[in-house]
Structure 1
Amino acid sequence: MAQVETHRASVQPFLPTGNDQLTEEMRGCISNCISCSAVCLQTVTYCLQRGGKHAAPDHIRLLEDCVQICKTSADFMLRASPLHPRTCAVCAEVCERCAVECEKMGDDTTMKACAEACRRCAESCRKMSATA
């Protein structure tokens, strides 16, 4: 089976620097959200190809939820929405749940990589949600 690409540089967004409203911490969180979204989306394909418990509807739905909330949180931060702490709080919760479920898949490097991306995103989103 194909392995999930975990090189963060491949999904690094262009985040302008200078006199904008994005703090360094926010830039890191945006990057983690975009990376996590990409990893989870690739993991959906992997899981569907793998079948069995990997392709269970609840597991696939959680991965897809993670993809969408990560994209949404990144969008809210990129637009400097005053509601971004709220989306980040939900993102942290979904990412944490996704990490736990991915870790339940045993000694699978693709699932471990997904769990790591989710935990990294959850951590940075928790920090962003606390800035409200």
Structure 2
Amino acid sequence: MHEQFKECIDECLACVIECNHCYDACLQEENVKMLQECIRLTRECADICAYAASAMSRASTFATEICKLCADICEACANECEKHSSHHEHCKKCAEVCRKCSEACRTMAS
């Protein structure tokens, strides 16, 4: 079962790393208030991606539902990060990784 989830697990773990980087970088920006929703979503996205990877690695009976939720949160995070991607490279990169993770999770959930 683990091998079935391998690609999705890898995408989730990459998303954890990128969301955590974006979260930290946003907190260092001058206008943190403007990035408030981005900060909140990157934190939430990193958490659900870590949980989804963990659930898949242990072949949880809820992996499909968790992956669906993960895909939804990744998509929301990507949409928010894209709003800031012209000014912040870390948001641009985060949006790209979140989109890839969302796609992988949707494929896994279907």
Normalising by structure 2, what TM-score? 0.92
Letter aligned with residue 111 of structure 1? C
Structure 1: 4+ residue segments shifted above 3 A: none
Greater RCO between the two (CA within 8 Å, min separation 6)? Answer: 2
Q: 1:106 to 1:34 in 2, by over 3 A?
A: closer
2:38 equivalent to 1:69? no
Counterpart for residue 99 of structure 1: 78
Query: What's the CA shift for 1:106?
Result: 3.8
State the alpha-carbon separation in 2 of the partners of residues 106 and 123 from structure 1.
20
Counterpart for residue 99 of structure 2: 119
RMSD: 1.1
Normalising by structure 1, what TM-score? 0.77
- Give ranges in structure 2 of 5+ residues lacking alignment: none
**Higher Cα Rg, which structure:** 1
- Give ranges in structure 1 of 5+ residues lacking alignment: 1-20
CA deviation vs aligned residue, 1:44-82 (integer Å, no higher than 9, x gap): 11000013112x1x3211111001000000000000111
Structure with more of its chain in helix, by fraction: 2
The correspondence of residues 50-89 of structure 1 with structure 2, limited to 5 A, is: 50-52=29-31, 53-54=34-35, 56=36, 58-89=37-68
Q: 1:51 to 1:86 in 2, by over 3 A?
A: farther
Letter aligned with residue 27 of structure 2? L
